[in-house]
Each structure stands twice: as C-alpha cells, then as structure tokens.
Amino acid sequence: MARTRVGVLISGRGSNLQALLDATQDPVFPAEITLVLSNKAGALGLERARKMDVETGFIDHTLYESRKDFEQDVDARLVQAGVELVCLAGFMRILTPWFVEKWRDRLINIHPSLLPAFKGVHTHDRALEAGVRVHGCTVHYVRPEMDEGPIIGQAAAPVLPGDTPDTLSERVLRAERKLYPACLKLVASSGARVSAERVRIPDSLTLDGDEQLINPS
C-alpha cells in the first residue's frame, strides 16, 4: 500500500520530528516524511532531516507582509512536494483560518498538555502552579482556534515532588516522542477519522496497544 506523504513544519529543536523520522524508517510504517519546512534558518530540526536525506526548506516569515502571504508559500511548497498530511512539530507561528481550512482534517499538532487544560504557552510552569498530579501531551487535528480540535491521542506523565518546569518538560517530551508516531500511524492508516468533530478509531486498531492512551512511565 502507498505510504502517506507527510510534510512537517518546525521552528526549532525538532525532537518530535526526530521521533517521526525514526518511526518512518520502518518500511511497513504507513507514512513517509517527504518535506520538512522551518520558518527559522538555524533550526536544529532541519539538520536532523538532512541527515536522514529528507528534503528541507527554510521560509523566513519576517520577509512577508502578512501571515497569509507567508502561508501561501508554505502551502505551495507542501503541494509541490505532493504532501497529503501536515504535522506541526514545534512550529511557533499561529496559522490563519485560511491555511487551517485548506488543510482541514489533514493537519495535526502536538501540544504539551492534556487538552483542554493548559492551552497556549508555558504549559509546564502553569501545570506546576496549578498543582496538578498528572500532566502530559495531546495530538489533535488543528482547528482555527488555538489548541482546539478533535483529539487523536493523549499520553499522561506524572508530576513528581520537586519537579521544575525543566524536569517536567523532559518527562512530557519522552511521552511526546512515543505519542506522536503512534498517532501518525493511526491517522496514516486511516484508523483515526473525524466525524462530528470527534476522532473515531475502529476497535480493531485500539485492541492491540491501546494507542489512545499511552502512559510511558
């Protein structure tokens, strides 16, 4: 069966991208990464992709008059590369409704909290301030409202005594690196479809491994 052609948008370190690149090395994985685009020139993620012979591109958002002008070039590059599904992996630009609707149900994101808790930035600081005992990460389809959209999968990470934002972030990142490939696999194998703004996953796919909830510890 043909593998789903995936484009990944990044802005920085790219540790989630690395997890996706590693997963897609398996020839039976239902997706392949065909393009990695960054809005930051020195993004470490670009280097990670090049090392694995994946096409990369840098599109400098500061050179554009408007968000939509920037996104039109991003979109053109994705289309040119035959991308069918877009993964956001630490892409630090807010997307306009134009882009989000153009890629509706073909655009997914990873967010470092158990949504709908802690939308936005500084999620680990806010989780510690709130005193939650369980934190984690979420992979979801993207909608125009920030950190909204049908949830594909979530992974939990405990908050431990003495945690700082850094130690908590590292634990959540370990969960992210398992969750994102698992969710991409579900989406690319047509196992996670949106219906009435909920993600439906057939029983046959959830039976082995329970990929909707992955607790890595």
Show which residues are catalytic. 111
- With contacts defined by CB under 6 A, name the span among 13-21, 63-71, 158-166, 199-207 that binds ligand GRF: 13-21
Q: Which stretch binds ligand GRF (CB under 6 A): 9-17, 53-61, 64-72, 183-191?
A: 9-17
Output the CA torsion sign for 31, 18, 115, 133.
positive
In whole angstroms, the minimum distance from the beta carbon of 177 to ligand GRF comes to 8
Tell me how many residues contact ligand GRF (CB under 6 A): 14
**Phi first, then psi: what are they for 175, rounded to 5°?**
-70, -40
Distance CA 98, CA 174 (A): 33
Q: Report how far residue 94's alpha carbon sits from residue 67's, in angstroms, rounded to the nearest whole number.
A: 9
Choice from 5, 15, 98, 104 touching ligand GRF (CB under 6 A): 15
Is 16 near ligand GRF (CB under 6 A)? yes
Question: In terms of DSSP H, where are the helices of the chain?
Answer: 15-24, 44-51, 67-80, 97-102, 123-130, 165-188, 203-206
Among 89, 175, 179, 183, binds ligand GRF (CB under 6 A): 89
CB of 176 to ligand GRF, least distance (A): 5
Angle at 121 between CA 143 and CA 163, to 5 degrees: 130
| 3-class SS of residue 129 | helix
138 touches ligand GRF (CB under 6 A): no
Tell me which residue has its CB nearest to ligand GRF.
Answer: 90
DSSP-derived letter for residue 27 is T
> Minimal distance in Å, beta carbon 88 to ligand GRF?
7
Closest contact distance (angstroms) between CB of 216 and ligand GRF is 14
Which residues have CB under 8 Å from 43's CB, separation 6+? 10, 11, 12, 13, 14, 58
Choose, by CB under 6 A, the member of 29, 35, 78, 111 that binds ligand GRF.
Answer: 111
Cis before 116 (ω within 30) = yes
Distance of CA 212 to the CA centre of its chain: 15
In the bound state with ligand GRF, the residue whose beta carbon lies nearer, of 89 and 159, is: 89
Q: By CB under 6 A, is residue 113 in contact with ligand GRF?
A: no
Site for ligand GRF contains 188 (CB under 6 A): no
Question: Which residues contact ligand GRF (rule: CB under 6 A)?
Answer: 12-17, 89-90, 110-112, 137, 173, 176
